[in-house]
Structure 1
Amino acid sequence: MAQKAHPTSLRPTKGLYQSSTHWDEARLYYILSTVHKLIDSCCLGTTHYLDKIQVNRHLGLIFIEANLIHLHYRPKHRLKSRRYKENKKDPNNQSWTLVACRLHTAIRLIQNFTGTKKVILKINKLKTYTRSIPKPVRRQMSYYTRSFNSTKYNYARSGMQLMSLVIQDKASAFSLSRFIQQNIYSRQRRKRHYEFLGYLKRGFQALQGYKKIQGLKIQIKGRFTHKAKGRSRVWKYQMGQMPISQLSKPIQAEYAQTQTGYGSVGLKVWICS
Structure 2
Amino acid sequence: MAQKAHPTSLRPIKSLYEGSTYWDEPRFYYILSTIHKLIESCCLGTTHYLDRIQLNKYLGLIIIDIDLVHLHFQSKKRLKSRRHKENKIKTKKQSWSVLSCRLQEAIKLTQHFTGTKRVVFKINRLKVYTRSIPKPARRQIAYYAKSFHNIKYDYARYGMQLMFLVMQNKASAITLSRFIEQHICSRQRRKRHYEFLSYLKQGFQALQKYKKIQGLKIQIKGRFTHKAKGRSRVWKYQIGQMPLSQLNKNIQAEYTQTQTGYGSVGLKVWICNGSQKINLNVNTT
Same fold (TM over 0.5): yes
- Judged with a 3 Å threshold, the aligned counterparts in structure 2 of structure 1 residues 42 and 219 are, in CA distance, closer, same or farther, namely same
Pairwise CA distance, 1:152:
3.6
Partner of residue 268, structure 2: 268
What letter matches 1:236 in structure 2?
A: K
Pairwise CA distance, 1:99:
0.8
CA–CA separation in structure 2 for the residues paired with 1:91 and 1:219: 29
What letter matches 2:196 in structure 1?
A: F
Question: Are the counterparts in 2 of residues 140 and 206 from structure 1 also a CA contact under 8 Å?
Answer: yes
CA–CA separation in structure 2 for the residues paired with 1:91 and 1:167: 29
RMSD: 2.3
Of 35-44 and 166-175, the range deviating more from structure 2: 35-44
Does residue 246 in structure 1 map to residue 246 in structure 2? yes
Mapping of residues 63-102 of structure 1, within 5 Å: 63-75=63-75, 90=90, 92-102=92-102
Unaligned runs of 5+ in 2: 274-285
- TM normalised by structure 1 equals 0.94
Partner of residue 161, structure 1: 161
Pairwise CA distance, 1:147:
1.1
CA–CA separation in structure 1 for the residues paired with 2:80 and 2:2: 60
- Judged with a 3 Å threshold, the aligned counterparts in structure 2 of structure 1 residues 232 and 59 are, in CA distance, closer, same or farther, namely same
Question: Are the counterparts in 2 of residues 190 and 224 from structure 1 also a CA contact under 8 Å?
Answer: no
- Judged with a 3 Å threshold, the aligned counterparts in structure 2 of structure 1 residues 189 and 80 are, in CA distance, closer, same or farther, namely closer
Partner of residue 105, structure 2: 105
Deviations 1:224-264 (A, max 9, x none): 33355232100000000000000000000000011100000
Question: Are the counterparts in 1 of residues 220 and 265 from structure 2 also a CA contact under 8 Å?
Answer: yes
* Structure 1 SS opposite 2:239: strand
- Judged with a 3 Å threshold, the aligned counterparts in structure 2 of structure 1 residues 235 and 108 are, in CA distance, closer, same or farther, namely same
Pairwise CA distance, 1:77:
6.1
Partner of residue 148, structure 1: 148
What letter matches 2:242 in structure 1?
A: M
Unaligned runs of 5+ in 1: none
* Structure 1 SS opposite 2:139: helix
Pairwise CA distance, 1:76:
5.1
Of 148-157 and 249-258, the range deviating more from structure 2: 148-157
* Structure 2 SS opposite 1:37: helix
Does residue 223 in structure 1 map to residue 220 in structure 2? no
What letter matches 1:143 in structure 2?
A: Y
What letter matches 1:52 in structure 2?
A: R
Partner of residue 276, structure 2: none
Question: Are the counterparts in 1 of residues 218 and 238 from structure 2 also a CA contact under 8 Å?
Answer: yes
Partner of residue 40, structure 1: 40
Does residue 119 in structure 1 map to residue 127 in structure 2? no
Question: Are the counterparts in 1 of residues 147 and 153 from structure 2 also a CA contact under 8 Å?
Answer: no
What letter matches 1:221 in structure 2?
A: K
CA–CA separation in structure 2 for the residues paired with 1:91 and 1:243: 41
Of 174-183 and 86-95, the range deviating more from structure 2: 86-95
Mapping of residues 46-57 of structure 1, within 5 Å: 46-57=46-57
Question: Are the counterparts in 1 of residues 184 and 224 from structure 2 also a CA contact under 8 Å?
Answer: no
- Judged with a 3 Å threshold, the aligned counterparts in structure 2 of structure 1 residues 79 and 191 are, in CA distance, closer, same or farther, namely closer
Partner of residue 186, structure 1: 186
Question: Are the counterparts in 2 of residues 168 and 212 from structure 1 also a CA contact under 8 Å?
Answer: yes
Mapping of residues 122-141 of structure 1, within 5 Å: 122-141=122-141
CA–CA separation in structure 1 for the residues paired with 2:211 and 2:226: 37
CA–CA separation in structure 2 for the residues paired with 1:116 and 1:128: 35
Of 153-162 and 142-151, the range deviating more from structure 2: 142-151
CA–CA separation in structure 2 for the residues paired with 1:258 and 1:270: 18
Question: Are the counterparts in 1 of residues 79 and 147 from structure 2 also a CA contact under 8 Å?
Answer: no
CA–CA separation in structure 2 for the residues paired with 1:91 and 1:205: 30
* Structure 2 SS opposite 1:201: helix
* Structure 2 SS opposite 1:265: strand
